[in-house]
């Protein structure tokens, strides 16, 4: 019974980390679009802020996807 509960918990963590990763990835795409779409009101400080935010969000997205992969490997090793 405890093993099944542990597998469910790991599967929920995998789903959560993937969801977080995709959400941050989508947000970083919108921020990047703010950089590449031309506008008269864009200053260099706004561009730097948007690009920094994009890189940070991509980094966090990578961290969450890496954690999801780690837990997926852990789930597969628990199955064996």
pLDDT, one tens digit per residue, over 23-79 is 999 999 999 998 888 777 778 888 899 999 999 999 999 999 999 999 999 888 877
pLDDT band at residue 1, thresholds of 50, 70 and 90? low
Q: Using an 8 Å Cβ cutoff, are 48 and 31 in contact? A: no
pLDDT band at residue 3, thresholds of 50, 70 and 90? confident
In terms of Cβ atoms closer than 10 Å to its own Cβ (0-12, 13-18, 19+), residue 3 is exposed
Q: Report the C-alpha gap between 65 and 62 in whole angstroms.
A: 5
Nearest to 16 by CA among 60, 58, 62, 67: 67
């Amino acid at each position: 019974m405890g093993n099944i509960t542990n597998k469910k918990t790991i599967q929920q963590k995998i789903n959560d980390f993937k969801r977080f990763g995709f959400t941050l990835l989508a947000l970083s795409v919108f921020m990047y679009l703010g950089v590449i779409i031309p506008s008269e009101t864009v200053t260099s400080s706004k561009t730097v802020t948007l690009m920094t935010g994009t890189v940070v969000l991509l980094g966090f997205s990578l961290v969450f996807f890496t954690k999801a992969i780690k837990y997926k490997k852990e789930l597969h090793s628990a199955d064996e």
